[in-house]
Amino acid sequence: MNERKVIWPEPILGKLHSFSSEHYTAEESYDHIVQFILETEDLLLNPVIGKTYTEEFGEFKGLTRIVVKRFRVYYKAIDDLIVIAAVCFPGEQ
């Protein structure tokens, strides 16, 4: 059995680096994003993912969605690779 791997494309990482909140300092925002990435990878690397939903309509039709820390993560699983397609911040449409 091959090892699963999560791929975070550069545009997604750039968007995550731009995350800020009026309730957090820059360092707290960074820590929040790092924790979000770690939790997301833990969930996605689990072979039995139970909190997923496949979009049936709209911009992300056909992609699988999971919610981590109120962030919506859209991804596509290709064999043992999980490619993150989009991340929506809390409150973002």
> Which pLDDT score, from 0 to 100, does residue 84 have?
96
Backbone angles phi, psi at 40, to 5 degrees: -65, -45
List per-residue pLDDT tens for the chain, 93 residues long: 578 899 999 999 999 998 888 888 989 989 999 999 999 999 998 877 666 778 888 888 989 999 999 999 999 988 889 999 999 998 887
How crowded is residue 65: how many other Cβ atoms within 10 Å of its Cβ? 17
Sequence spans of domains, the chain? 5-88
Class of domain 5-88: alpha beta
> Which pLDDT score, from 0 to 100, does residue 93 have?
74
Question: pTM to 2 decimals?
Answer: 0.86
